[in-house]
Amino acid sequence: MSHTTDPTDPRLGRGVDQEPTAQHDVYLVLSEEERAQGFVRPVRRTYVHSKCGVATTMSQAIAETYARNPKFYGATYCCGCIKHLPVGEFVWDGTDQLVGS
């Protein structure tokens, strides 16, 4: 898996999956310069799907993008369900705080 800062990159997936699917080859992240400006939330790498209880760990760049702009993503991947699902279905590992809030 790699990252891009280009929202028009044709390799990007979009939204919620209806059927199980592999993770995308490329994920959109904020630029290093944007992330270097600081975070409004702690940088957390692991979240838990409230419906299946499985933890998923993301890359540092994606975690920093969430920490800089918690509303950046509308969906995130669940390794248990093997789908991208709404961020409102996940909490940060060890907390009751919803991902994306």
Distance CA 35, CA 39 (A): 7
CB of 67 closer than 8 Å to CB of 34: no
H or E stretch covering 92: strand 90-92
pLDDT at 1: 84
pTM value > 0.95: no
Q: What is the pLDDT of residues 63-96, one digit of tens each?
A: 999 999 999 999 999 999 999 999 999 999 999 9
CA angle in degrees (0–180, nearest 5) for 38-73-78? 115
Q: Does the pLDDT of residue 35 top 90, yes or no?
A: yes
Query: Is the pLDDT reported for residue 8 higher than 90?
Result: yes
Task: Break the chain into its structural domains and give their ranges.
Answer: 2-92
Q: What share of the chain has pLDDT > 70, as a percent? A: 100
Structure letter (DSSP) for residue 88: G
Task: For strands 26-28 and 2-4, give the pairing.
Answer: parallel
